[in-house]
Amino acid sequence: MPLLQGDLARSLEVILVYTGNGKGKTCACVGQAVRALGRDMAVAFGQFMKRDGQAGEQRLLAQWLGPRFLAGGAGFLRREEERPAHRAAALRVLAWARAQLPEVQMLILDETLYALHAGILTREEVEALMDSARAVRRHLVLSGRNAPDWLVREADLVTEMGESKHPWRSGVTAAPGIEF
């Protein structure tokens, strides 16, 4: 199902955001990648915060995308003294993302908003990526909890996953293949 000439230009959804406290943001990013790949679009998929080998989606994304996949995070930010290592990791993902953007039709950056909320990425850095995506008309997909108001205003499509029920509230721990 190749993309028809003009389809991308017609699309108004340049910047998509998946946010909210409910489960499904990263799964939505992976689903978006699958759909775009099914249209023969060139896709790059990066993950802030998540380390390589931390989640099930990473193995297949690496197979499908090769160097257009990068899980470059340093894991959960648990202690303040870990912040410089997280910042260095985020800067590596950011540099990779900037280089990918002109090369692909869709750039997906999972857990961007986690990094932003934690102060590992700045508003200026995220806005600069958004400006670049608009300038070169590439789809940019950003995900993570706590989308700030400015991002909701500036994005074209925002979906907020709401948590109606989640087993972790009754003490069930995260399961491989479901949560990671």
The whole-angstrom separation of Cα 176 and Cα 180 is 5
**Could you say whether residue 179 binds ligand ATP (CB under 6 A)?**
yes
**Pattern 14-33, binding to Mg ion, x per CB under 5 A?**
-----------xx-------
**Pattern 115-154, binding to ligand ATP, x per CB under 6 A?**
------------------------------x---------
Residue 51: what are its φ and ψ, rounded to 5°?
-80, 155
**Could you say whether residue 174 binds ligand ATP (CB under 6 A)?**
yes
Span of 24-32, 39-47, 75-83, 116-124 interacting with ligand ATP by CB under 6 A: 24-32
Distances (CA, A) of 20 to 11, 12, 50: 24, 23, 18
| Closest CB to ligand ATP among residues 38, 56 | 56
Residue 164 contact among Mg ion, ligand ATP, none, beta carbon within 5 to 8 Å by kind: none
- Burial zone of 123 (CB within 10 Å; 0-12 exposed, 13-18 middle, 19+ buried): exposed
**Could you say whether residue 75 binds ligand ATP (CB under 6 A)?**
no
| Closest CB to ligand ATP among residues 150, 168 | 168
CA 52 to chain CA mean position, Å:
14
Q: Which residue has the tokens 């930010």?
A: 77
- Torsion 133-92-19-25 (CA) sign: positive
Give the footprint of ligand ATP on this chain (CB under 6 A): 23-27, 145, 161, 166, 168, 173-174, 179
